[in-house]
Amino acid sequence: MRARVRFEQALRLLDRAFESVAEPNAQPKTNLREQLRSYWLSMNGQQSLLEFACFSAQLEGKDELAEEYFNKVGAMRGPLWGRSWEECVRRTHRIFFANLRSARGPRFGKALTLAGRLLLDIRAPNGMAVLKRARRIAPREPAVHNAIASYLLTHRDPGGAKRSARASLALKPDQPAVLIDLATAEWMLARLDAASSAARKATTLSRSPQVFSQMSEPIAL
């Protein structure tokens, strides 16, 4: 918890620095090159701290807070912060997890899942290896199998996607997004009846107030 609190404090300090730079009446005191360098340093610092806070929150078992920070990291990606966003993901992963080599347990597995999702998003070659490690550490975490299923589905491995989706649903049945992945995998395997059945279950769940909040969350990858 101490690490996450420190990251959050640093984020607040950085936010205040952004506000002072963005004041309407402030006069620029640096040339364009220095302004661009300042922008890069500020954005890089903010993204790194958000990722650190995300992983730290997950290690504490604060799933919702971790997902909140994860979404904030994704929201930073844009036309002016694209390639640098990807480089920051790689660098932050190396720095954070280099200090957690002896970590174990489901919380660590879920933190690795979040890291793997980011790495796969930038097509990092070690992204899938990170998710497989997460699965070994936390085999009973639905999110791990969900992330693997989504990745395999988009990489034309419907058989593997089907197995991972079923593993996720066996642990947590009421997941409309995972049922959609399963339906898609079954359709790609030409199992139309099974695909239709999974799709109907997803539709029924999506209309249920109990799982409506799940549908507002981003799909794993």
Among residues 41, 75, 101, which one ends one of the domains?
A: 101
Higher-confidence residue of 155 and 8: namely: 155
Q: Per DSSP, what are the bridge partners of residue 81?
A: 78
| Residue at 121 is within a domain | no
| Model pLDDT for residues 164-196, shown as the tens digit of each residue | 999 999 999 999 999 999 999 999 999 999 999
- pLDDT at res. 73: 95
pTM of the model: 0.77
| Residue at 24 is within a domain | yes
89 in the same domain as 147 = no
- pLDDT at res. 30: 59
Among residues 101, 132, 151, which one ends one of the domains?
A: 101
Residue 214 has pLDDT above 90, yes or no: no
Nearest to 121 by CA among 81, 161, 165, 90: 90
94 in the same domain as 27 = yes
| Model pLDDT for residues 142-155, shown as the tens digit of each residue | 999 999 999 999 88
Among residues 40, 74, 101, which one ends one of the domains?
A: 101
| Residue at 42 is within a domain | yes
- pLDDT at res. 22: 45
d(CA 114, CA 110): 6
150 in the same domain as 79 = no
| Residue at 132 is within a domain | no
Higher-confidence residue of 162 and 42: namely: 162
213 in the same domain as 160 = yes
pLDDT band at 220; cut points 50, 70, 90: very low
Per-residue pLDDT, averaged over 70-96, amounts to 92
Higher-confidence residue of 34 and 172: namely: 172
Q: Per DSSP, what are the bridge partners of residue 78?
A: 81
Per-residue pLDDT, averaged over 91-106, amounts to 82
How confident is the prediction for the chain on average, in pLDDT? 84
151 in the same domain as 94 = no
175 in the same domain as 88 = no
| Residue at 125 is within a domain | no
Residue 29 has pLDDT above 70, yes or no: no
91 in the same domain as 19 = yes
| Model pLDDT for residues 44-66, shown as the tens digit of each residue | 999 999 999 999 999 999 999 99
93 in the same domain as 159 = no
Nearest to 117 by CA among 101, 84, 93: 93
DSSP string, the chain: -HHHHHHHHHHHHHHHHHHHHT-TTPPP-S-HHHHHHHHHHHHHHHHHHHHHHHHHHHHTT-HHHHHHHHHHHHHT-BTTBSHHHHHHHHHHHHHHHHT-TT--SHHHHHHHHHHHHHHHHTT-TTHHHHHHHHHHH-TT-HHHHHHHHHHHHHTT-HHHHHHHHHHHHHH----HHHHHHHHHHHHHTT-HHHHHHHHHHHHHHHT-GGGHHHHTSPP--
Higher-confidence residue of 176 and 41: namely: 176
In this structure, what CATH number is given to the domain that contains residue 202?
A: 1.25.40.10
Residue 215 is which amino acid?
Answer: M
Work out how many domains the chain is built from and give that number.
Answer: 2
- pLDDT at res. 55: 93
94 in the same domain as 18 = yes
162 in the same domain as 216 = yes
| Residue at 55 is within a domain | yes
197 in the same domain as 147 = yes
Per-residue pLDDT, averaged over 129-133, amounts to 94
| Residue at 115 is within a domain | no
- pLDDT at res. 102: 64
9 in the same domain as 62 = yes
| Residue at 93 is within a domain | yes
Q: Is residue 144 within 8 Å of 177, Cβ to Cβ?
A: no
Residue 198 has pLDDT above 70, yes or no: yes
| Domain membership of residue 186 as a residue range | 141-221
